[in-house]
Chains A and B, each alone.
Chain A
Amino acid sequence: MPSVTSLHSGATPATATRPPVADGAAVQFAGVGKNFSGNWALKQVSFDVPQGQVVVLLGSSGSGKSTLLRHVDGFENPTTGQIWVHGQLVNGLKNTPLRKLRSQIGFIFQRFELVGPLSALENVLTGASARIRGPRLGAWTYPKALRNEAMEQLERVGLAQFAAQRTDTLSGGQLQRVAIARALMQHPSILLADEPVSSLDPESSHEVMTLIREIAARDGLTVLCSLHQVELALSWGDRIVGLRQGEVVLDTPTELVTKDQVLPLYQRPAPDAPDALTLPNTEFTFASPPPTPELVLGLSL
């Protein structure tokens, strides 16, 4: 066993060639740890996400939510353990295989990350980069079929009338919806959302979260969404995974969790007793199909 993995007992050897569980899991974390210059941002993270499940990652800032999401898309390489997406090992992927993986995964950012001087339509079109060859300059250089499809995606997020408008003139809620359309343009099977509504007002937040949920349900997308708003998390996903200082300390179906169970995620641990936290580490095994969509009908913000 490599020395780095021996930091945590029971770490899966980095040489594993097959995912731990092969059936129905869209994303699998197996003993994932990440060390940033001496600090462990993630420690021994292990859980599976079945296809079509909507998972909320909950935790305070610095708990490792974003880092975990970045690992799924291959922006980070784990120090220990493995990440599997649809049975494919993500660790160490480069160039074409990595781009192929990324093309299946939509990523929604906290700060939208659209190209300001470009129109909404052109921003959406960049989502199709992996489906075409070579660089493009200007919306008119994309194939007509893609332009039509991009318009459909904008219609889907309710922004068709803003297609020609520069995105740096749009409001926050509109920007995030353009970003969602860009992700949909990839035809993803997985959607990662990193604090998608942290920069938005409550009304836009509600719109964006509802939109993501609707799209996920209709397209059967697997969603991993990090949030720090507890109220929102308790009424939104199928499952809550709570992170605290890089460790999974809570993993439970949304309908079984109470606010009191979640709040300790945000407490600062006493410096001399880092392990004093007692959380109900409820391990559930999620079998496909995921919990019924009725669970989310009580969406209240």
Chain B
Amino acid sequence: MSGLDTKAAALVLAALLLLGVWGTWYFLADPALFRDGLANLQRFLIRVGSLSFPPLGKLIALTGMTLGIVVLGTLLAALLSVPVAWASAAVTAPNGWIRSAGRFLGVLSRAVPDVVLAMVFATIFALGAIPGILAFGLHSIGMISRLFADAIEQSEAGPRLAIRAAGGTKWQEFTSGILPQVFPSWVATVLHRADINLRGSIIMGYAGVAGLGLEMRNAFAIMDYSLGLGIAVVMLVLCVGMEVVSSTARHRLLGLGNARRRSARRANRPPYLMAASVTALIAASIWVCQIGWSDLAISWEYLEKTARSFWPPSTGSYGMSRFLGAMGVTVSVAISAVLVSLVGSLLLGSFAARNVAPNRGVRSISRLLLIVIRAIPELVLAIVLIVVFGLGAPAGVLALGVCGVGLLGKLIADSIEENPPGPEIAVSATGATRLQRYTAATLPGVRRAIIGHVFYLLDTNIRAATILGVVGGGGIGYYLLTASQGSRYGQVTLIVAMIVAVVMVVEALAMWVRKVLR
């Protein structure tokens, strides 16, 4: 039986590979594309001339607003994720029904792209920060609650059982037995998500959410490339800064053996400092986002009317085949981009691994390259590539493919370094060359891990490809944007349903293949 499963999984892999090769060929194997692209790039660079930025005061206000939206949205998601994680973790869920419900909520929130949520909220609330905060707040629950639940399930059972043995309630088990164990990992997860949301904040501009994203979109819309790219550079700097802050903090939080020693007096005091800093952060974020009570006021009558207009789903004047075709393009873009990333990642990721790189210099340079690539927000790259290659899928494939190397390359490098060194030494001992050792011992050792990482990337790429369509990278995203801008909410419902279905299918497929090929 398991042999049959393995064969089926291998077939799925082969089919995906074929689709990826075909897609890459179809989208990219056009000499005119790169010939025209080069000419466009020249024209683009001439038009850019030099970078220009908004006036300093405005720039600071915009940056503050973008950061504020990210902070508030991520914190909101963290708060909402606690009950979802509690419900979906095996050790805390009261029963199977609640557990399934919790997991479904997580998957659902992950499947609806944040930009779609922002578009919906923008129709309910006034334009400004609120739609962005709510969109991040709801969409991030998917990832945060999943990782929170994983942390709960990986925590040691001993302390929990000890509290139960001492007559504690379930609630006490959670607060005293689990929470102290998982807290560092939870904070790390939230920081990681804040990092992701900051990159995502660019797209929020396309949904009308205030901040740097909106400013950049407006600049590109009036073909003020130098201002657009100037804001992109600001965004890049912000992303690199956030990456450094969050990865340093995560390292310290999750690093072993650096448990802080605290005096008994401090241990007996409530964590005033932490509470004060979090409160201050929230207050500052609300202030920079210029949120007032009036923003929260919604006209219930209008809300009801809007809600009604989302039903029934409709294809409008397009017809279903048009939507299905566009969805197919989105999926092909995602798969082709995975293939592009895989080729780059195998190369760069291998050289970034200590046990493959010929020397330290090569490893350091490769690691640095991976960090730089990871810092580039894919949307910024996509927007630039769209200017160069024109609207459509090729720009999407290239943007996703290049940015995917940052993530996949790092995962592959880490897997290769974690691979037990014994077999590699044994193959070296037979007199094999470095390349022979790489194919005979290193690659077979990490094959399964790489398949897992590839599916993880495919999973993220499907969502990212949808969003890229919004900025003009081809596929269903374009129809989503026009439907939402034209207030044709029946179409929005249909498109979102299609996206959710595809994301769920891919996620289920990924889970199944990873389980079978473990």
Contact = CB atoms under 8 A, between A and B. Distances in A.
A113 B445 contact: no
A173 B444 CA distance: 22
A118 B429 contact: no
A126 B422 contact: no
A44 interface: no
B423 A102 contact: no
B444 A129 contact: no
B82 to A, nearest CB: 39
Contacts of B427: 115, 126, 129
Contact of A102 (B430, B443, B445): B430
Interface in B424-478: 425-433, 435-441, 443-445, 447-448
B431 A135 contact: no
Q: Which of B426, B427, B430, B445 has the most CB of A within 10 A?
A: B430
A102 B428 contact: yes
Contact of B436 (A101, A106, A107, A134): A134
A113 B435 contact: no
B419 to A, nearest CB: 10
A134 B448 contact: no
Nearest to A118: B444
A130 B445 CA distance: 21
A127 B439 contact: no
Interface string B487-509: 00000000000000000000000
Contacts of A186: 430-431
A107 B431 CA distance: 11
Given A99-B433, A130-B431, A113 B422 contact: yes
A111 interface: yes
Interface string A201-235: 00000000000000000000000000000000000
A116 B440 CA distance: 11
Given A109-B422, A114-B426, A116-B445, A100 B431 contact: yes
Contacts of B433: 99, 129, 135
A103 B443 contact: no
A161 B437 CA distance: 26
Contacts of A111: 422
A117 B444 contact: yes
A86 interface: no
Interface in A114-150: 114-118, 126-130, 134-137
A106 B98 CA distance: 59
Contact of A115 (B428, B429, B436, B445): B445
Interface residues of B, number: 23
Given A109-B422, A113-B422, A99 B441 contact: no
A180 to B, nearest CB: 12
Interface in B241-258: none
Contacts of A179: 426
Question: Binding site of B, secondary structure by majority: helix, strand, loop or mixed?
Answer: helix
A113 B426 contact: yes
Contacts of A73: 429
Contact of B432 (A75, A99, A104): A99
Nearest to A179: B426
Contact of A135 (B425, B438, B445): B438
Contact of A127 (B423, B430, B435, B447): B430
A101 B422 CA distance: 20
Contacts of B445: 115-117
A275 B430 CA distance: 39
A34 interface: no
A247 B433 CA distance: 34
A53 to B, nearest CB: 21
B7 to A, nearest CB: 15
B14 to A, nearest CB: 15
A234 B16 CA distance: 59
A103 B432 CA distance: 8
B432 A129 contact: yes
B425 A126 contact: no
Given A117-B447, A126-B432, A129-B432, A135 B440 contact: yes
A118 to B, nearest CB: 5
A182 B441 CA distance: 13
B436 A129 contact: yes
B421 to A, nearest CB: 9
B443 A99 contact: no
Nearest to B433: A99
Interface string A91-111: 000000001111111110101
Nearest to A127: B430
B430 A129 contact: yes
Contacts of A116: 423, 444-445
A21 to B, nearest CB: 26
Nearest to A135: B439
A117 B436 contact: no
Interface string A151-178: 0000000000000000000000000000
A126 B441 contact: yes
Q: Which of B423, B426, B440, B441 has the most CB of A within 10 A?
A: B426
Interface in A61-76: 73, 75
B426 A137 contact: no
B432 A130 contact: yes
Q: Which of B429, B433, B435 has the most CB of A within 10 A?
A: B429
Closest 7 A/B residue pairs (Cβ): A103-B431, A130-B431, A129-B432, A113-B422, A113-B426, A135-B439, A107-B429
Interface of A: 73, 75, 99-107, 109, 111-118, 126-130, 134-137, 179, 182-183, 185-186
21 contacts: A99-B431, A99-B432, A101-B431, A107-B426, A107-B429, A111-B422, A113-B422, A115-B444, A116-B444, A117-B444, A117-B448, A118-B440, A118-B444, A126-B436, A126-B441, A129-B433, A129-B436, A134-B435, A135-B433, A136-B439, A186-B430
Given A107-B429, A115-B440, A129-B427, 8 more contacts: A102-B430, A112-B422, A114-B426, A117-B448, A136-B440, A137-B439, A183-B430, A186-B431
